[in-house]
Amino acid sequence: MTGRKNRTLHFQELGLMDYEPAFEFQEKLMKEIIDLKLENRTRTDDDQKQTPNYLLFVEHPHVYTIGKSGDEHNMLANAKKLEEINATFVKTNRGGDITYHGFGQIVGYPILDLDNYKSDIFLYMRNLEEVIIRTIAEYGLKGERSEGETGVWLDVGKPYARKICALGVKTSKWVTMHGFGLNVNTDLRYFDYIIACGIKDKGVTSLKRELEREFSPSEMAEVKEKIKKHFCDVFEASII
């Protein structure tokens, strides 16, 4: 490889989209990057092409997703209950256990070639957490990491510790997919039907609950802009 790193991000706002088509779109982008990396192995250094990176934002209708190593016993609702609450249940290929995506949640899917950044999954996860920690700090909230548990938490080490942002990723050939879900206006009652991330003794929260106010559409857009800014700062990237 030439060592040339491409840290520009193609940003796309996908809007409201069902989980499955968003998953398929991620897989398409991931495959294109991997295919280009494999092609570059057959090229001379001067002929190699830079791999692209993407940052996708999306909002999903009510859906529970479980990672490849997740425990289905952490889904507490049966098929009838899922129908009653207008939610679906999807098995997916990310790491981690079960989580919920729904209206009022900002879901971010970075499709990055980590060879453009640092080929370190642990660092990548900590950097994603750092993006959210910096974002919610702008709203007066102290986000923290909880040892052995991914995501961004409030009041770690206290009986009322609660998660405000969940993380789960998949990588192949150092290319990432999946990402994070930040609860903003999220209806937290939907978490009552799962043992979120397989963690029984901790709760979940949202910006709405912590700040005791609903975020308007313009304020939701503002949160997204803050995430994008901090993503670029943490990953030393630029959005095109």
Arithmetic mean of pLDDT, 93-119: 94
Residue 3 in any domain: the answer is: no
Q: What is the domain range of residue 204?
A: 8-239
> Does residue 23 have a known ligand-binding role?
no
Q: Is 136 helix (H, G, I), strand (E, B) or coil?
A: helix
Q: Decide: 52 and 10 in contact? Cβ < 8 Å.
A: yes
Catalytic residue among 63, 197, 232, 234: 197
Length reported for the chain: 240
pLDDT digits (tens, 9 = 90+) for 127-183: 999 999 999 999 999 999 999 889 999 999 998 999 999 999 999 999 999 999 999
User: Which of the four pLDDT bands, split at 50, 70 and 90, describes residue 27?
Assistant: very high
State yes or no: is 197 an active-site residue: yes
> Does residue 235 have a known ligand-binding role?
no
> Does residue 189 have a known ligand-binding role?
no
Residue 139 in any domain: the answer is: yes
With a threshold of 0.85, does the pTM exceed it? yes
Residue 2 in any domain: the answer is: no
- pLDDT score at 186: 97
Arithmetic mean of pLDDT, 198-216: 88
- Helix H or strand E encompassing 81: helix 79-84
How far is residue 85's CA from residue 190's CA, in Å, rounded to a whole number? 8
Residue 147 in any domain: the answer is: yes
> Does residue 167 have a known ligand-binding role?
yes
- pLDDT score at 2: 44
Q: Decide: 198 and 95 in contact? Cβ < 8 Å.
A: no
Query: Total domain count for the chain?
Result: 1
> Does residue 239 have a known ligand-binding role?
no
